[in-house]
Structure 1
């Protein structure tokens, strides 16, 4: 069967539809019927899925555009009942057009609104080494994802999930910003590691210095870390928790394909384990959470670890209504009097 070749007009129509769906799915008033219609459109042809993913990346960049304080509130524009070119009347069109038209893109670059380089990276079953467009080197742990945007006044990384080790090229006038959850790490040139799981973030500094804030909406650049220091924070933390790391710290063992658990309570060990799992392991109660786990494990074989936990710990496995494994402490038997 001959594969259909899209004409230029058909390709443009798919792009317009992808932009329309991108806006509708981000709209507060998007209905269940619309979402079902989107799924049908998305799955109808591989080009639809490809164009929609590309539009999501542009949406991410558009979300970083500054909002002038004097800007008037947006006008209400009737939403189209079907995909059409009317999406260009929306705010997203400014970012799309600026990225597409060299002259507008140049103006956006000079104003510091738009990047002159945008990259997206993912790793699945292997640790991945990448080079950003500014020359910085990054190692991505398994199941990790990040984007890089090079602006006139800063270099900006968004760690969407997982873990990354950064060797940042030095540029005092062009700071390197990593956004993770609600926090921000600001550097000019250094080596550091960022781990993200759900709303938990951990930053380990190896060389140089970084400024860490737990909420990038707060004023100031945050707390300064020196070599062999670590910052931890999660959603709602006003300030990150700062501590020193010991000489044999194992938080970077993933770069050698290992996960090292140094006699940690399950409440701390499971987030390190779960980020490698499709179905995260849950804890039944506080008594289970306090049970400690140690050992060295291959990060590619973490799935096998879950099944072995009842053999090495006083726990048994059940499953919740969502199919997640649940660890339950085995009750201690009261000695007979």
Structure 2
């Protein structure tokens, strides 16, 4: 597990590189080797992708700002109009030379964060404190990033699950992006679970607004304590329900995974979140079988091997190496 808060020099170096790659990728003479080198740089760290996207947005906006051209000394009919690339290259040159000004402008326009943190949890639950004072518990195998913008505090849950105890700041909302949606609060306590494109938000205290599409923030639904919202890719709005007093969504904070007589189709996302190779279902009838029990989150991999002992199923393996649950009497899935 890692925690890395960048120094100002490190952050400036990444911003400098982002500006350089913006310029080169728009250049007509950009080579395949350069594009490959950019891809390696871009994929090497989430912050590289984050800063490149921020720089690209700044340049696109800068390209549409009005410009005052100096009057020519004498009319020259052979002069060609300035191309879009020339304007971008000029903007790039200004940005590369004036990175402090770029950072200042980007901060004031709410495009660039002034601090960035990344956290991972490995084989144990991890407690971290964000730079704004908010407390976060990360479940096993979870990853998130935190960026502080002028007008909001933003977390991106990249994988897994986290419980947030957000420090109150009415002027700077706290936004958690998960999947295609987001959660917006000013100060509260809530849990966010994510597996593939599925997201589930459970509110413990305060209030949150949940949207299933980051582009449609006005369509968010307000939650009260004891409510849970869930969504997946393509949902126009989250599905909201009241949680049971004995709801086990937060059992992971005590090191447990609780399966309360769930259909396998509902239980497997909860199980697979902890596995390197997700378990697959042979068919819908297998998914309808029900399973229950309390398991240690650090030993979920052992649960899969034990399922044939408690359910009428057997395990096979598909061509990708994933374990497959088959109902007894069903033809094995290859």
Normalised to the residue count of structure 1, the TM-score between the two structures is 0.76
Q: Kindly provide the CA deviation profile for residues 185-211 of structure 1, in whole angstroms up to 9, marking residues without a partner as x.
A: 000000000001000000000000000
Aligned counterpart for 2:243 among listed residues 242, 245, 252: 245
Give the Å deviation of 1:92.
Answer: 9.3
In 2 relative to 1, CA 34–286 (structure 1 residues): closer, same or farther, beyond 3 Å? Answer: farther
Give the alignment partner of residue 258 of structure 2, picking from 238, 257, 260.
260
Alpha-carbon separation, structure 2, partners of 1:135 and 1:123: 19
Per-residue CA deviations over 1:130-179 (Å, capped at 9, x if unaligned) read 11111101011111111111011001111111000000000111001111
Runs of 4 or more consecutive aligned structure 1 residues displaced over 4 Å after TM superposition: 64-67, 74-77, 88-98
Distance 2:123 2:186 in 1: 31
The alpha-carbon distance between structure 1 residues 140 and 93, as it changes in their structure 2 partners (threshold 3 A), is farther
Cα distance change, pair 247–108 in 1 and its aligned pair in 2 (3 A): same
The answer as to whether partners of 1:211 and 1:221 remain within 8 angstroms in 2 is no
For the residue of structure 1 that corresponds to 2:218, the secondary structure is: coil
| 1:183 to partner: Cα distance | 0.3
* Structure with larger RCO (C-alpha < 8 A, sep 6+): 2
User: What is aligned with 1:305?
Assistant: 303
Asked if structure 2 preserves the Cα contact closer than 8 Å seen for 1:186 and 1:212, the reply is yes
Inter-partner Cα distance in structure 1 for 2:137 and 2:92: 32
Q: Give per-residue Cα distances to partners, 1:276-295, cap 9 Å, x unaligned.
A: 10000000100001001100
* Structure 1 residues 287-302: aligned runs within 5 Å: 287-302=285-300
Alpha-carbon distance in structure 1 between the residues aligned to 2:94 and 2:251: 44
* RMSD, aligned CA: 3.5
5+ residue gaps, structure 2: 1-12, 66-82
1:97/1:281 Cα in 2 relative to 1: closer, same or farther (>3 Å)? farther
Equivalent residue runs for 1:145-160 within 5 Å: 145-160=143-158
Matches within 5 A, 1:168-183: 168-183=166-181
Q: 1:125 to 1:30 in 2, by over 3 A?
A: farther
The 8 Å contact of residues 62 and 95 in structure 1, kept in 2 or not, is answered as no
* Paired position in structure 2 for 1:8: none
What CA distance in whole angstroms lies between the structure 2 residues aligned with 1:125 and 1:238? 35
Which of 60, 71, 74 in structure 1 is aligned with 2:64?
A: 71
Asked if 2 retains the 8 angstrom alpha-carbon contact of 1:62 and 1:92, the reply is no
Contact 1:318 1:326 (8 Å CA) reproduced: yes
Contact 2:123/2:140 (CA < 8 Å) preserved in 1?
yes
1:91–1:297 distance in 2 versus 1, CA, 3 Å: farther
Matched length: 290
Which structure 2 residues correspond to residues 256-335 of structure 1 after superposition, within 5 A? 256-331=254-329
Which aligned pairs between 1:44-83 and structure 2 lie closer than 5 A?
53-54=44-45, 56-63=46-53, 65=57, 68=61, 71=64, 75=84
Rate the CA distance shift 1:52–1:231 in 2: closer, same or farther, 3 A: closer
What is the CA-CA distance between 1:105 and the residue it aligns to? 2.0
Give CA-to-partner distance per residue, 1:198-226, whole Å, 9 cap, x none.
Answer: 00000000000000010111151500000
- Aligned partners of 1:207 and 1:227 also within 8 Å: yes
Tell me, yes or no, if structure 1 residue 144 matches structure 2 residue 142.
Answer: yes
User: Aligned equivalents of 2:107 and 2:310: distance in 1?
Assistant: 57
Deviation at 1:107, TM superposition (A): 2.8
The 10-residue stretch of structure 1 (102-111 or 246-255) with the greater mean CA deviation from structure 2? 102-111
1:115 aligned partner: 113
